[in-house]
Structure 1
Amino acid sequence: MTPFTALPNNTAAADDAAAPAYTSSELLAAVSCRYLQGTRRVFAGIGLPTLAVALAQKSTSPDIEQVYESGVCGAHPPRLPETIADASLATGAEAILTMPVLFGYVLQGGWIDVGFLGAAQIDRFGSLNSSVIGDWESPDVRLPGSGGAAEVMANSAEVFVVMRRHNPTSFVRELDFCTSPSPRIAREKDPLVPAQGRGVTTVISDLGVLKADETGELCLATVHEGVSAGQVIEATGWPLKVLPGLSVTPAPTAQELDLLRNEIDPGRVYLR
């Protein structure tokens, strides 16, 4: 299942010659950037979250502060970092902290507005799997694991998740392994769990955008061009609800695409 029309790498309608062509990763970065507007501090993972924050810094949110797991706060790298320990992150950073200080005072202190993560699997209440696909003892795929994602999930005011592929093996009824539990679910199971955040409020996938309702359940809010609500429902492993006023996600603008391609990621480190 794909959000694209017959035009290669183009989600714009085939008969709209004026619309710029764009790829799925460009769409995900542009849409994610818009949801970050008005955010002050973002604890972002490497990959598409980093790309989205870089776009936000150069467009809608020049004052946004990006925090990296390596201890860099207020990063303004001269080029797109490829890892959380990329030396470019130190250049122009507002602070470089030890990891105990970062996690103990900045993250657990409640200073992060948005935690921005990726994952291999997500369930209907926003718990994430980034550990294994399949059985723990003999998995089909063994993944990098949590890193700081569990703490980011528990302590950020809210969490955004970006998913490159929206299908029933990624959007699942039950995770193969729960790496980062939703704070809401964790608190229901144990009121003493020190989870202060709201958990996942927004998921940006290659088919559309899901938003959490008042119960914390992820529901369909927008579909991308060329995608129907039925397609997204079919690609989701739980009975996906559709929020009132379902709309079509605005396509990336020419300015967003120019920034992504020519200033932020000309080497296509994350753009595909």
Structure 2
Amino acid sequence: MTESHYSLTELMTVAAAREIQDGEVVFAGTGLPMLGAMLAQHTHAPDCCIIFEAGTIASQLAHLPMSVGDPRALHGAALAAGLFEVFDYMLQAGKVDVGFLSGAQIDRFGNINSTSIGPYPGQPKVRFSGSGGACDIACLAKRTVIIARHERRRFPQRVDYITSPGWLRGDNSRMKSGLVRGGPSVVVTTMGVLRFHPETKRLFLASYHPGLTARDVARNTSFRLDIQSATQTPTPSSEELHILRDLVDPERVFLR
């Protein structure tokens, strides 16, 4: 049963959660990725293993953490370690199935810029925080899920700077560069869900959110976006919304 009243954040969270499969190791960050991972753990993926950058491995979250370093992230965890263990024993060892990422710009091949707008390291117009652990996740996770606000300026033909590599120049360029594992699988935005063509690795529109059209999404994308096969994004079920609102984030820390 679907629910007719839901927020955009709830719709995006549900779309992201549905990308997680049972038994997978999930590298989740603060905010919507946490919501999605918790929702998946409460529904179709009870045995997914959630890990956080601060060092928590295999959390069984009872309360939503405010950040990856929040003590609430330790609830039911198999191990309370540190950055080294998460990035070395889990990520570099190839044990992370899916990692969540975001950024200021995402291009048609899923390359992410979270470094600067404009020439870098010359005279950037805007300077951002940089990679953090995002580049490691983009290079070493088996696949990545990208979360982004959908605006023309955020989806350029080419990013100003590749902070976290996606499919680089498309086709097999990622593997040729030495990145033999992973790559982005989906981009969940405020307007729809975009996926990558299996051969060219170019983004195409898989679905547009209710109230929008495929052309709306295309008009808000700087590069040419294939919309031919797009359908409407499936809406959240009553059960998913109940779990999100009453169990995952009852205090509306991140839900809007």
1:6 — aligned with what?
A: none
The one of 241, 245, 249 equivalent to 1:261 is 245
Residue 96 (structure 1) shift: 2.3
Change over 3 Å in CA distance of 1:153–1:242 after alignment to 2: same
* CA–CA separation in structure 1 for the residues paired with 2:177 and 2:202: 22
Q: Is 1:154 matched up with 2:152? A: no
1:220 aligned to 2:205? yes
User: 1 CA distance for matches of 2:253 and 2:137?
Assistant: 24
Query: Match for 2:39 among 41, 46, 55?
Result: 55
Contact kept, 8 Å, 2:61 with 2:72, in 1: the verdict is: yes
Partner of 1:14: none
| Matched position secondary structure for 2:152 | coil
Please give the TM-score of this superposition, normalised by the length of structure 1.
Answer: 0.85
Counting only pairs closer than 5 Å after superposition, residues 229-248 of structure 1 correspond to structure 2 as 229-242=214-227, 244=229, 246-248=230-232
Q: Using a 3 Å threshold, how does the CA distance of structure 1 residues 151 and 157 change in structure 2: closer, same or farther? A: same
* C-alpha contact 1:43 1:67 (8 A) present in aligned 2: yes
Do 1:66 and 1:74's aligned partners in 2 also have CA atoms closer than 8 Å? yes
The answer on whether the counterparts of 1:184 and 1:199 sit within 8 Å (CA) in structure 2 is: no
Alpha-carbon contact 1:122-1:129 (below 8 Å) kept: yes
Q: In structure 2, what is the equivalent of residue 172 of structure 1? A: 156
Q: Which of 71, 75, 93 in structure 2 is aligned with 1:91?
A: 75
In structure 1, what is the equivalent of residue 7 of structure 2? 23
Once the two structures are overlaid, the 10-residue window that deviates more, 104-113 or 182-191, is 182-191
Identity percentage of aligned residues: 35
Counterpart check, 1:74 vs 2:58: yes
Unaligned 5+ runs, structure 2? none
Moved more, 180-189 or 73-82: 180-189
Aligned length: 252
Q: Are the counterparts in 2 of residues 134 and 176 from structure 1 also a CA contact under 8 Å?
A: yes
Whole-Å separation in 2 of the counterparts to 1:196 and 1:107 = 14
Matches for 1:65-214 after TM superposition, within 5 Å = 65-136=49-120, 139-163=124-148, 165-182=149-166, 185=169, 188=173, 191=176, 193=178, 195-214=179-198
Unpaired stretches in structure 1, ≥5 consecutive residues = 1-17
Contact 1:41 1:114 in 2 (8 A): yes
SS in 2 for 1:74: strand
- Aligned-residue Cα RMSD (Å) equals 2.2
> Per the alignment, do residues 32 and 39 of structure 1 end up closer, same or farther by CA in structure 2, a change over 3 Å counting?
farther
